[in-house]
């Protein structure tokens, strides 16, 4: 097919091939067992738990208020985001009855909080949440149906919203120690987004308002917000090849597979 064959994978007989594959399998199993034992001998935080601590501290130091909101949201919370039965994301939602769903994003709850807190907190209002979200995703090494999001928003910034968005992205990416680039993309929900990529992998998507969807939420002020996928960040930090190794799992413990 035009490629170059690795000489170490060229065998003179089937028996030689099977013997080599058994050695490779044994080596991989041995490395996996060693990783499990290291987890017990020198326990560390799970990559997602560690990231949550790091990011919460970095954002609190910048004046952000941390919130924790319900994982079940009303259907009209999605409709206010412009996500109805005609929207592709509608079919990715995990429904809990006809009028409630497991949240596919954190933004609907943050809109609610912005509307109420702005009456008591002087501008700018800075909020963030870290928590699970749920979507019926396609299978792949970079997708999970249950994943962890960090969403932050600054309502009524006192400077240019786009510049503030870039500053907040820098706060997060400096905290996790990853080089990154910003890419402008089109979005079905936000119109235009500023995405954060590392080695071509999208870690976050940000936007600025006001947008048409703000009106149903009662928001009229400018804002800057961005959502990060923590498993994607962990994937790039650990250099694993499969996002399942760094997410919530019954099979993997700190990247080591326990069912083999």
Q: Which of 73, 77, 190, 70 is nearest to 131 (CA)?
A: 70
Number of domains in the chain: 2
- Cα–Cα distances (Å) from 180 to 62, 228, 238, in that order, read 21, 13, 16
**Are residues 190 and 62 part of one domain?**
yes
**Are residues 61 and 15 part of one domain?**
no
Q: Given the DSSP bridges, would you call strands 201-209 and 191-198 parallel, antiparallel or unpaired?
A: antiparallel
**Are residues 17 and 99 part of one domain?**
no
Is residue 196 situated within a structural domain? yes
**Are residues 125 and 39 part of one domain?**
no
Cα angle 178, 182, 185 (rounded to 5 degrees) comes to 135
Full-model pTM: 0.86
What is the average per-residue pLDDT within 137-166?
Answer: 90
pLDDT in tens, 158-216: 999 999 999 999 999 999 999 999 999 988 778 899 999 999 999 999 999 999 889 99
The answer, yes or no, to whether residue 5 has pLDDT greater than 50, is no
Backbone angles phi, psi at 179, to 5 degrees: -70, 150
The answer, yes or no, to whether residue 114 has pLDDT greater than 70, is yes
**Are residues 25 and 66 part of one domain?**
no
Q: Which of 202, 203, 195, 246 is nearest to 48 (CA)?
A: 246
Cβ(196)–Cβ(180) under 8 Å? yes
**Are residues 203 and 105 part of one domain?**
yes
Task: For residue 136, say if its preceding peptide bond is cis, omega within 30 degrees of 0.
Answer: no
Is residue 214 situated within a structural domain? yes
Cβ(249)–Cβ(145) under 8 Å? no
Q: Which helix (H) or strand (E) holds 234?
A: helix 230-238
**Are residues 57 and 38 part of one domain?**
no
Q: With 0-12 CB in 10 A as exposed, 13-18 as middle and 19+ as buried, what is 207?
A: buried
Range of the domain at 121: 47-245
**Are residues 213 and 186 part of one domain?**
yes
For position 218, which CATH number holds?
Answer: 3.30.930.10
**Are residues 55 and 39 part of one domain?**
no
Is residue 103 situated within a structural domain? yes
What is the average per-residue pLDDT within 250-260?
Answer: 86
Is residue 255 situated within a structural domain? no
What tokens appear for 26 in the block? 């044994």
Enumerate residues 6+ apart whose C-beta is below 8 A from 35: 254, 255, 256
């Amino acid at each position: 097919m035009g490629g170059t064959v690795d000489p170490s994978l060229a065998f003179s007989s089937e028996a030689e091939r099977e013997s080599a594959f058994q050695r490779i399998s044994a080596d991989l199993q041995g490395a996996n067992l060693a990783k499990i034992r290291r987890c017990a001998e020198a326990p560390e935080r799970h990559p997602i738990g560690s990231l949550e601590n790091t990011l919460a501290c970095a954002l609190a130091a910048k004046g952000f208020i941390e919130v924790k909101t319900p994982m079940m949201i009303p259907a009209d919370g999605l409709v206010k985001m412009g996500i109805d039965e005609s929207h592709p994301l509608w079919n990715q939602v995990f429904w809990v009855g006809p009028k409630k769903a497991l949240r596919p994003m954190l933004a609907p709850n943050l809109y609610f909080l912005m509307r109420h807190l702005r009456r008591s907190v002087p501008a700018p209002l800075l909020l963030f949440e870290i928590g699970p979200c749920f979507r019926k995703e396609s299978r792949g090494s970079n997708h999970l149906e249950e994943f962890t999001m960090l969403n932050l928003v600054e309502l009524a910034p006192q400077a240019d919203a786009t510049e503030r968005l870039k500053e907040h992205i820098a706060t997060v990416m400096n905290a996790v120690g990853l080089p990154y680039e910003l890419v402008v993309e089109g979005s079905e929900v936000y119109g235009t987004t500023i995405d954060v990529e590392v080695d071509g992998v999208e870690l976050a998507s940000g936007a600025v308002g006001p947008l048409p969807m703000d009106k149903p939420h009662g928001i009229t002020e400018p804002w800057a917000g961005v959502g990060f996928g923590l498993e994607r960040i962990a994937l790039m930090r650990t250099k694993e090849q499969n996002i399942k190794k760094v997410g919530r799992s019954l099979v993997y413990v700190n990247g080591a597979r326990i069912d083999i």
